Amino acid sequence: MKLPAVKSPFPPDFAWGAAAAAYQIEGAWNEDGKGPSVWDMMSHRPGKIELNHTGDVACDHYHRYAEDVSLMQAIGLNAYRLSIAWPRILPDGTGTINPKGLAFYDRLVDSLLEAGIQPWVTLFHWDMPLSLYQRGGWLNREVVDWFGDYTKVVVEALGDRVKHWMTLNEPPVFIALGHLHGVHAPGDRLPMGQVLRAAHHTLMAHGQSVAAIRAHSPQPTFVGFAPTAGAKVPVTESAADIEAARQTYFGLKKDTVWGLSLWNDPVYLGKYPDEAPEVYGDDWPSVSDADLKLISQPLDFIGYNCYTGDFVKADASGKPEIVPFERGNPTGTLNWLQLIPDALYWAARFQMERYGRKPFVVTENGLCNLDWIALDGKIHDAQRVDYIHRYLLGLKRAGSEGYPLGGYFYWSVMDNFEWAEGYRPRFGLIHVNYETQKRTMKESAHWYREVIRTHGACL
Ligand code: IFM
């Protein structure tokens, strides 16, 4: 008897990917005409980054990209998420184009395509040109046009080969950590009113960039962005706990910009959450209909960077309550990274309930671990394997329940510069020896290869 074929929750064109970002891996910080970025400024200031590490050399990917692409091919990736360094293309942020900068991404994109790997390009992963910061950066409304013009340059150069685009990576992080808490570049601690104004400009710049991609791409595109927020997972699947988790996921809090709805509602629904003016009071910026129209350019997928989250329950009166982690709950080597196995299921479900059904793309997910090369020459990162496995099972459940899936990008393809924490946290599928630049595939890379080969059937 022939058994009926079981439909895979992962569609045939599912992107099995890994990600990285320009400043974290490229190095070559001042080569071939690149201008300085806010991260060059920040990392060169003594005491700002753990052990005063910088991205000056990083993984030297700028010179070693061919080897890196071969390793991606060896893992079997069919997609790689890279970011473009804005100051490599436009050293001053606007105006004169640096052809050598564009040529690097030209070579990288060609190598990826030759290796059968689709480039998914992020236009901004935090390295704003320093000269634009000196003109006000995200606080200056002109940033909307600066980012739109930069997008046009990149899309005109790469759009014949690149179909998949993301505008911004994790706007809540570069706005909160960079402009409110001062621990990421540019290192500012601004009052909340200014932070919210910068956030609004960021979203408008996203909209302008989407419009520029659509206007200048010579081929059909797949466009989105990559916000982040901790997932909220109900402790039980009772209706009350699910509702409590949903409310917490989309709720806003005064004095922070971490709420997912602050970023996603204007993008997908064309309006800020109704509660925003009340929550933020006098700090709330003035927002016009035209601004919201620009921000809410239709997107092709729901992107989401997801690492961690919280468990939530309804208390006796039905009010949401965060359930503290059990002592000893598994974490990464960064404390904020808690293991929340069902995170991707609940994130996909809650987001699609609110924003409609579009392919859900996990634009980042990963674990920083204590990885080193063992005496047998291998890297036994069993915890990373287990972490990815559990999160992918959550994603698989979402797919099995009919939520459309578009892709999964492990963060990161290789160990790299983890911002304020320097090179200590290792997230990679590939181990990097920063002294020799030797790359070694970790066990997780071999395991992920099998997941990709079986199109998720081995999960
Ligand atoms: O390394 C970062 C990345 O740049 C943005 N998302 C989270 C990662 C791990 O912290």
Class of domain 15-453: alpha beta
Q: Is 291 in the pocket of ligand 1 (CB under 6 A)?
A: no
Q: Is 411 in the pocket of ligand 1 (CB under 6 A)?
A: yes
The span from the CA of 115 to the CA of 235, in Å, is 43
> Is residue 170 among the annotated active site residues?
yes
Residue ranges covered by each domain of the chain: 15-453
Tell me the C-alpha distance between 210 and 227, whole Å: 15
Model confidence at 5: pLDDT above 90: no
- Span 333-347, pLDDT tens digits: 999 999 999 999 999
Residue 321 designated active-site: no
pLDDT band at 2 (very low <50, low <70, confident <90, very high): low
Give one DSSP letter per residue of 401-432, joined into a string: TT--EEEEEEE-SB----GGGTTSSB--SEEE
Give the chain's mean pLDDT.
97
Tell me if 193 sits within 8 A of 213, measured CB to CB: no
Please name the residue whose Cα sits nearest to atom 10 of ligand 1.
418
Q: Cβ(305) to ligand 1 under 6 A?
A: yes
| Per-residue pLDDT tens digits for 41-63 | 999 999 999 999 999 999 999 99
pLDDT band at 304 (very low <50, low <70, confident <90, very high): very high
Q: Of 1-10, 181-190, 208-217, which gets the smallest average pLDDT?
A: 1-10
Give 424-441 pLDDT, tens digit per residue.
999 999 999 999 999 999
For the Cβ of 170 lying below 6 angstroms from any atom of ligand 1, the answer is: yes
Tell whether the model's pLDDT for residue 261 goes beyond 90: yes
pLDDT greater than 70 at residue 416: yes
Residue 364 main-chain phi, psi, to 5 deg: -155, 140
Q: What percent of the chain has pLDDT over 70?
A: 99
263-286 residue pLDDT tens:
999 999 999 999 999 999 999 999
Q: Given this model, what pLDDT does residue 339 score?
A: 96
Q: pLDDT class for 7, splitting at 50, 70, 90?
A: confident
Q: How far is the CA of 176 from the centre of ligand 1 (A)?
A: 14
Phi/psi class of residue 244: alpha, beta or left (left: φ > 0; alpha: ψ in -120 to 50)?
A: alpha
Q: Give the residue, out of 170, 225, 429, with the most ligand 1 atoms within 8 A of its beta carbon, to mutate for a pocket test.
A: 170
Is the model's pLDDT at 245 over the cut of 80?
yes
In sign, the C-alpha dihedral spanning 109, 115, 119, 124 is negative
Could you tell me the pLDDT band of residue 3, with boundaries at 50, 70 and 90?
low
Q: How far is the centre of ligand 1, averaged over its atoms, from the C-alpha of 330 (Å)?
A: 19
pLDDT tens by residue, 381-396: 999 999 999 999 999 9
- Name the residue with the closest Cα to ligand 1, atom 1: 418
Report pLDDT digits (tens) over 139-155. Answer: 999 999 999 999 999 99
6: pLDDT strictly greater than 80: no
- pLDDT band, residue 106 (cuts 50/70/90): very high
Residue 36 clears pLDDT 70, i.e. is over it:
yes
Which residue has tokens 């002592």? 327
pTM of the model: 0.98
Give the SS3 label for residue 40: helix
What pLDDT is stored for residue 4 in this prediction? 62
pLDDT at 113: 98
Q: Does 39 score more than 70 pLDDT?
A: yes
Q: Which of 434, 438, 439, 441 is nearest to 55 (CA)?
A: 434
* Across 24-48, average pLDDT: 98
What does R_g of the chain's alpha carbons equal in angstroms? 21
